[in-house]
Amino acid sequence: AIRLFYRQTILRRGLPFSVDIPNDVTVAAMEAARRGELETGSFEDLATRLSVTSARPL
C-alpha cells in the first residue's frame, strides 16, 4: 500500500487525493465539539426527524 501511495504521488506530482480546507461553519462545529458543546439526542429523536424529513414531498 505504501509503494502504491508513493507511486501515485510521483505520477500526480502531489497527493493522490484532494485536501480541502474546512469552511467557517465546519471550523466552528469542530471547535464546539472539542469544547463539548454538542447537541445530543436519542436514537428515537433521530429516527423521528428522519421519518418526518423523508415523508415530505420534493
Whole-number pLDDT of residue 56 = 60
Q: What is the DSSP letter of 14?
A: S
Under a CB-based contact definition with an 8 Å cutoff, are residues 33 and 25 in contact? Answer: no
The model carries a pTM of 0.43
- Distance, in Å, from the CA atom of 51 to the CA atom of 44, rounded to the nearest integer, reads 10
Residue ranges of domains in the chain: 2-55
Condensed to tens digits (0 to 9), the pLDDT of residues 3-58 reads: 999 999 999 999 999 999 999 999 999 999 999 998 788 888 888 888 876 666 65
Under a CB-based contact definition with an 8 Å cutoff, are residues 22 and 11 in contact? Answer: no
10, with CB counted inside 10 A (0-12, 13-18, 19+), is exposed
